[in-house]
Amino acid sequence: MTKKSIKKIEKIPTHLAIIMDGNGRWAAEKGLPRVSGHQAGTENLREVIEAAVEFGIKYLTIFAFSTENWSRPTDEVQGLMKIFRIMLDRELKNLHENGVQLRHLGCLDRIDETLKKKVDEAIKLTKNNSTLILNIAFNYGGRDEILRAVKQIIEDGRDVNDLDDELFSEYLCTAGSPDPDMIIRTSGEFRISNFMLWQGAYSEWYFTPTYWPDFGKDDLLQAITEYDQRERRYGGIKK
């Protein structure tokens, strides 16, 4: 793949979101424990982030851990938390030096204090960066996000007559960011899995059978190429 390839693409998604699925099955097919798949998926993330910057994507959202993932075996959950801590320690400096701004989507209420502190420090350190906005959806669920937004609107005493799409969006985790133009799900599954239920209403979906640890720069280019060929009508008709 060359820069010439990306130059042929007229429409680049401003905001790309990814459901990083298939880590466990990738590991199982190799006779490895599930946590090894999550580790491989984390290692793969750097290449995708670098490719997103190269392609001109401005917002990248990754679904790292859902509100439902707490139901997984304890050792797997603990392994995921450890991997996330290690990733922040190892990658934060590089991300910051390359102009990546980190944002968190979801709640940190069930996360241990050490990890909470690392997340807060990463957000503060990178808050003025603008090359790429990297949203990490960690302990995130679309229904939970919407319910929390409704509760906050009520607590704020907002007039129901003032409530519209724009105002409601201000109460979501992605406030101030555009809705995702495209959502990619790896591993061959065809589900939205409680991800960005409000924001993804008119996103273009792209499903690939490739497991997340094997999803690289060329795979991302293929997805963007297909996006470029689609016509977004937002409920309207072709002109």
- What is the secondary structure of the chain as a DSSP string? --HHHHHT-S---SEEEEE---HHHHHHHTT--HHHHHHHHHHHHHHHHHHHHHHT--EEEEEEEETTGGGS-HHHHHHHHHHHHHHHHHHHHHHHHTTEEEEEES--TTS-HHHHHHHHHHHHHHTT--SEEEEEEEEE-HHHHHHHHHHHHHHTT--GGG--HHHHHTTSTTTTSPPPSEEEE-TT----TT-STTTTTTPEEEE-SS-GGG--HHHHHHHHHHHHH----TTS---
In the chain, the domains with their CATH numbers are 3-229 (3.40.1180.10)
Give the Cα separation of 123 and 121 in Å (integer): 5
CB atoms under 10 Å from CB of 109, counted, come to 7
pLDDT tens-digit profile of 115-151? 999 999 999 999 999 999 999 999 999 999 999 999 9
- Return the CA Rg of the chain: 18
pLDDT tens-digit profile of 186-222? 999 999 999 999 999 999 999 999 999 999 999 999 9
Query: What pLDDT, on the 0 to 100 scale, is given for residue 1?
Result: 46
pLDDT tens-digit profile of 151-160? 999 999 999 9
Active site members: 21, 69
Query: What pLDDT, on the 0 to 100 scale, is given for residue 3?
Result: 56
| Rounded mean pLDDT, 25-48 | 95
